[in-house]
Amino acid sequence: MFPTRPATTARHPSGRRRPPGTVAVIGLGRFGAALALELMRNGAEVLGVDTDEGVVQELNGQLTAVVRADATQEQLLRQLGVDEFDKVVVGIGSDVQASILVASRLLKFGHPEIWAKAITGPHAEILEQLGVHHVISPEHDMGVRSAHLIQGRVLDFVVIDEGFALIRCPAPEAVQQRPLDALNLRRAHGVSVVSVRRPGESWEPAEPGTVLYENDQVLVIGPTRKVQAFSDLD
């Protein structure tokens, strides 16, 4: 379990930083708790911090360490050794002021990698202006994703960057029975098929000679409008 101690002694016994895979999650609401538990399942060491005693008790024993604390207090963050973790996630969602203040404290430490949840557009903009490395807008992103799932035949949708996405969809009939290199999808449709899954089989990388058939699923990457249009091909 991570000890509570001053930052001057918050290093690994060898004098190095903690081993890779240490994450502090500040704010253990639905988003923060789900993220922290999934990180644990993936083998990370996770410190959870929240002001709610009930939340702390519920997650006790499920994370490497969980602490009830007011993370807006700079000295307390240092005592917890938060500045020594590989990554810190600010998952505070209901209190924008606290979220911004915690992010500001972490940036003051010069922390190399900070992730923060934003609940509104202005909140995200402020976090970005502060210099937070990764700003997450789960409600906005889920709304965008759901819109694409509702339309057409898209089975899954992931935003890669502004205006660029990866989708999972059934192989359109228009591109079946011919090798991918003969279809030249990048020129014809502005997209690339990167992986294929046959019925009952695992995903495999798409090769130039790969032929698509009925009931195949594909992962397609490209501009958002174009991957959506590709999924709707007859």
In this prediction, residue 19 carries a pLDDT of 46
In this prediction, residue 82 carries a pLDDT of 92
Q: Which residues pair with 204 in a beta bridge?
A: 196
**H/E segment holding residue 196:** strand 192-197
Ramachandran class of 213: left when φ > 0, alpha when ψ lies in -120 to 50, beta otherwise: beta
In this prediction, residue 2 carries a pLDDT of 54
Superfamily assignment of 7-136 in CATH?
NAD(P)-binding Rossmann-like Domain (3.40.50.720)
Token readout for 153 is: 């035949």
In this prediction, residue 218 carries a pLDDT of 97
Fold type of domain 141-231:
Alpha-Beta Plaits (3.30.70)
Parse the chain into domains and list their residue ranges.
Answer: 7-136, 141-231
In this prediction, residue 46 carries a pLDDT of 96
SS3 state of residue 160? strand
In this prediction, residue 5 carries a pLDDT of 38
Q: Is the CB of residue 201 less than 8 Å from the CB of residue 223?
A: no
Spatial separation of the C-alpha atoms in residues 224 and 67, rounded to whole Å? 42
Token readout for 71 is: 């993370």
**H/E segment holding residue 97:** helix 96-109
Spatial separation of the C-alpha atoms in residues 97 and 92, rounded to whole Å? 10
In this prediction, residue 145 carries a pLDDT of 81
- How does pLDDT run across 55-79, given as a tens digit for each residue? 999 999 999 999 999 999 999 999 9
pTM: 0.69
SS3 state of residue 51? coil
* Sequence-distant (≥ 6) Cβ neighbours of residue 15 within 8 angstroms: none
DSSP state at residue 213:
-
In this prediction, residue 3 carries a pLDDT of 44
- Residues in the chain with pLDDT < 50? 1, 3-20
Spatial separation of the C-alpha atoms in residues 193 and 80, rounded to whole Å? 46
